[in-house]
Structure 1
Amino acid sequence: MKKLNLLWLLWALAMTSFAQARLPKVVLKSIEGRSVQTDTLQNGGRPMVVAFFATWCKPCNRELKAIDEVYADWQKETGVRLVAVSIDQAQNANKVKPLVDENGWTYDVLLDTNGELKRALGIQMIPYTLVVDGQGRIVYRHNGYTDGAETELYEKVREACGH
């Protein structure tokens, strides 16, 4: 019986720590060159989507383009904020802003040129997308992109809003 109670306690702690996962403290640069501390990213009590991408990643760019087509509607309904995090290495970071400008993306774009945030979150492959609720908890993680996956992502954003 004691073994069962210990297993229950360990499981409960594991679930609590997963449910309470937050963005780690890493300092990144925006594409405008200002420093941004990731653990302070927030959206005034509304959810955020954090999408990891690279300029050379075709599925990443398809995902960000697909979200861009519906982003204004998402913002109207949920107030969601999208933060796109480029994992391009320093020598390719100069390609990020032209890609963002070419696509007309209005997302906040951060540069993780050393892969520090990516490593801190245990991300192995991109595209990788997180939903952070209004209290700053990571409530959804998704790896990869297939056409139409933004529909499921939006449902997770709505859930994070309590819809």
Structure 2
Amino acid sequence: MFDADLKDIQGNSVSLKKEIQEKDKLYVLSFWATWCAPCLSELESINDVYQDWKKELNVEVVAISTDDSRTISRVKPLINGKDWDFTVFLDTNNDLKRKLGFQSVPYLIIVKNGEIIYTQNGYVPNSETLLLEKMKKL
């Protein structure tokens, strides 16, 4: 199981491993940045269907910002202006991004029982429908 020390939106340290350890639960980790329009579109689309997902599956969405020191100050105001119903963490040093080996956002992974079981690079409108179908099979 991979781990990383992240920050929550209040600046408190959190261990990703501890946050995503419930047995047989699907965790959708969506990596994004404030300057990334496709990322924001993806998160808005996921938020629109998140309650439906939770009715059908044991799933939790975690949005992980990859904003660096130049743009991190934009995260909290952006989050406060959204009605997102999921947890937001900050990977300001990109430690987790480096561990996972991806280069660009949006990047999405699904984790179950500590293992990455699906990855998606980039965002295509309406892909949340395909994502739900994929999760039902996992």
Name the TM-score class by shorter chain.
Answer: over 0.9
Deviates more, 1:50-59 or 1:74-83: 74-83
Alignment RMSD = 1.3
Which one has a larger percent strand, Structure 1 or Structure 2?
2
Match of 1:81 among 56, 60, 73: 60
CA deviation string 1:28-56 (max 9, x = no partner): 10102221112223263211100000000
Q: Give the equivalent residue in structure 1 for 2:92.
A: 113
The count of aligned residue pairs is 137
| Structure-to-structure mapping, 1:128-147, within 5 angstroms | 128-133=107-112, 135-147=113-125
AA aligned to 1:26 is A
- Partners of 1:140 and 1:31 lie apart in 2 by 26
Give the partner amino acid of 2:7: K
Q: Give the letter aligned to residue 31 of structure 2.
A: F
Name the counterpart of 1:16. none
* Structure 2 unaligned regions, length at least 5: none
Runs of 4+ in 1 over 2 A off after TM superposition: none
Task: Give distance in 1, aligned partners of 2:27 and 2:75.
Answer: 21
Report the counterpart of residue 103 of structure 1 in structure 2: 82
TM-score when normalising by structure 1: 0.79
Of all paired residues, the percent bearing the same amino acid is: 42
Structure number with higher helix proportion: 1
Deviation per CA, 1:107-149, whole angstroms, max 9, x where unpaired? 111111111100100011110000111x121100000001011
Larger radius of gyration: 1
Range 148-157 or range 120-129, more displaced = 148-157
TM-score calculated relative to the size of structure 2 = 0.93
